[in-house]
């Protein structure tokens, strides 16, 4: 069974100010998402599911989904604020959806096979998709314990030349994820040492070779059911808050700590590219052009 690529795209309209403003990054007007789907297809993925909002369904299908319809099976799932387990309701005044775990949950009726999860606006690289497809072709849950994976990027491959970044630095034992520590304001200081602030506010050196999570996950379908249980518990504790969110890494961490799952960390040699700052765009354009020059991608994606 070929794996599915699940693309978190419900925030695209708000982040970009409208789908028509998706920035071209490739030499022939390609956007970052074009490269992710291209890489997924040649890595052996059989379907792509876009998680979007109903309010831009038509424009998304016309401007984005239609480009892939003759290349790979395309399906959609819809993240809606009021899509909640039975017995729960949206508190008055809440406008924001419930986070990435809630977005993934929206695909519960359209994903029945091993799948990878990526952000719509991050460039992950061909090697990452190849590693993910290989992993997804081999994993199988066992009674009482699920097996998942996370694509890990060396921190140095995810830094920006134009400012500091926030990253989750992975703790790993015997190839398995044991935790993710959030660091903010990571950059090379004036002395050349890369440092970041931990959540206690301490500025500490961080190893540029350490692996970080860029929200590229590999799951069996069991993760969707386990997410449902976690999200229900989350709502019982935080459902009346107006800005609380439930995140995929939080679900993974809880499953690891309760010994109901393990998560392999799969190192990729790819460079992650993303526009953290407006001034990052030329770097992303140049990075993609260099990959075209190296023959990793054709000048015009088919």
Q: What is the pLDDT of residues 12-40, one digit of tens each?
A: 766 555 665 578 899 999 999 999 999 99
Q: What distance lies between CA 16 and its chain's CA centroid?
A: 17
Q: pLDDT band for 274, please (50, 70, 90 cuts).
A: confident
The more confident residue out of 114 and 13 is 114
The token duo for 42 is 């040649």
Residue 207 to residue 23: CA distance in whole angstroms:
32
pLDDT on residue 15: 56
Overall average pLDDT of the 253-260 stretch: 92
pLDDT on residue 181: 86
pLDDT on residue 142: 84
pLDDT on residue 19: 64
Residue 160 has pLDDT above 80, yes or no: yes
Residue 262 has pLDDT above 70, yes or no: yes
Overall average pLDDT of the 216-225 stretch: 94
pLDDT on residue 14: 61
């Amino acid at each position: 069974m070929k794996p599915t690529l699940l693309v978190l795209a419900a925030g695209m309209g708000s982040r970009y100010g409208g789908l028509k403003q998706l920035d071209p990054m490739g030499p022939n007007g390609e956007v970052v998402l074009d490269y992710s789907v291209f890489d997924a297809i040649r890595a052996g993925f059989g379907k792509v599911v876009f998680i979007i909002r109903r309010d831009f369904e038509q424009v998304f299908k016309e401007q984005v989904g239609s480009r892939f319809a003759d290349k790979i099976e395309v399906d959609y799932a819809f993240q809606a604020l009021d899509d909640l387990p039975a017995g729960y309701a949206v508190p008055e005044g809440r406008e924001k959806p419930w986070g990435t775990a809630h977005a993934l949950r929206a695909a519960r009726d359209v994903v029945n096979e091993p799948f990878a999860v990526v952000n719509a606006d991050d460039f992950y690289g061909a090697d990452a998709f190849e590693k993910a497809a290989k992993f997804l072709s081999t994993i199988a849950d066992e009674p009482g314990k699920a097996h998942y994976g996370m694509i890990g990027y060396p921190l140095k491959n995810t830094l920006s030349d134009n400012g500091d970044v926030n990253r989750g630095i992975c703790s790993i034992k015997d190839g398995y994820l044991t935790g993710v520590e959030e660091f903010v304001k990571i950059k090379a200081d004036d002395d050349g040492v890369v440092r970041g602030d931990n959540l206690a506010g301490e500025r500490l050196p961080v190893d540029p070779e350490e692996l970080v999570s860029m929200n590229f996950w590999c799951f069996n379908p069991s993760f969707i059911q386990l997410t449902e249980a976690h999200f229900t518990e989350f709502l019982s504790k935080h459902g009346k808050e107006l800005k609380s969110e439930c995140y995929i890494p939080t679900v993974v961490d809880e499953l690891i700590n309760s010994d109901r799952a393990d998560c392999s960390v799969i190192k990729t040699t790819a460079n992650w590219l993303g526009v953290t700052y407006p001034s990052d765009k030329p770097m992303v354009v140049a990075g993609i052009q260099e990959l075209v020059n190296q023959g990793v991608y054709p000048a015009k994606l088919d």
